[in-house]
Amino acid sequence: MKRRFRNIFTGVLVLAIANPFLSTPPALAQSAVSPGLVRRVLTFFNPPRNRNSGTASGRQFAGASRDLCPPTSTPLTALVPDTNLGLTLNAHPTLWFYIPYASPQGYETEFVLIDAEENDVYKQNFSLPEEPGIVSIQIPEQVVLEAGASYRWVVSVKCNPGNRSGDATVNGWIQRVDQEVNQELDNQLASATLEAKLLLYSENALWYEILTTLAQLRRDEPDDAEIAAAWTEFLTASGLGESVVLAPVTLCCTAID
């Protein structure tokens, strides 16, 4: 399942960590990034297209006039390719979002995962982070993304629960790669270093694995200049603005029953 890709960076990024990474670990160890070797954040890929219509339908940025949430300088944003479709190897992937609201405002965030038959396969409310920033939502163990299947996700900030039509909302698609590719990559990743894993993710257009790896490094080592450079280049090349790129990667979010 190799896809065409083009090199948008010119140097080499060395992330010399040998921890296995398939599902999302609680933290990644500090990187041993050699000074000055920042530029190879991966060989960037052509984002996958919806098999029927090219670019998948979706809404990467909230902020239309109908939203009833207070205006913010940077809207609710999904960290996804500009095609609104991201691939994953993981049965329980982690998705990432910039949320411009914070817990003192008292709003809730709702995440919904929907299958091809328009059935809700996972629906959960979360509290807001303590400060605006980039947050993660992981698909729980009891929900398994089927190999080869596509799912639609919707994230909404409920600023007025009595009028859900005014939610700040983003939505898009996630697809788990088919079983044959899944098994082949599992074998290749089993003994690979983190740098080699990142290259395999890139060659196979696995957006969520690349993003989650870099986001965890960024969150765990926010003062590491080499990691910050890799994170900045990856998101900037993916079309995300400076206000999102420079936002803190926060620990979030608490599920609300």
Residues 6 or more apart whose Cβ sits within 8 Å of residue 119: none
Q: Flag whether pLDDT at 63 surpasses 70.
A: no
pTM: 0.80
At 170-185, the pLDDT tens digits run 999 999 998 888 888 8
Least confident range of 63-77, 84-98, 113-127, 227-241: 63-77
Residues 6 or more apart whose Cβ sits within 8 Å of residue 184: none
77-256 adopts what CATH topology? Immunoglobulin-like (2.60.40)
At 47, the pLDDT band (50, 70, 90 cuts) reads: low
Nearest CA among 24, 168, 165 for reference residue 109: 168
Rounded Cα distance, 152 and 119, in Å: 10
117, 237 in Cβ contact below 8 A?
A: no
Q: Specify the amino acid at residue 138.
A: Q
At 4-27, the pLDDT tens digits run 333 333 232 333 333 333 333 334
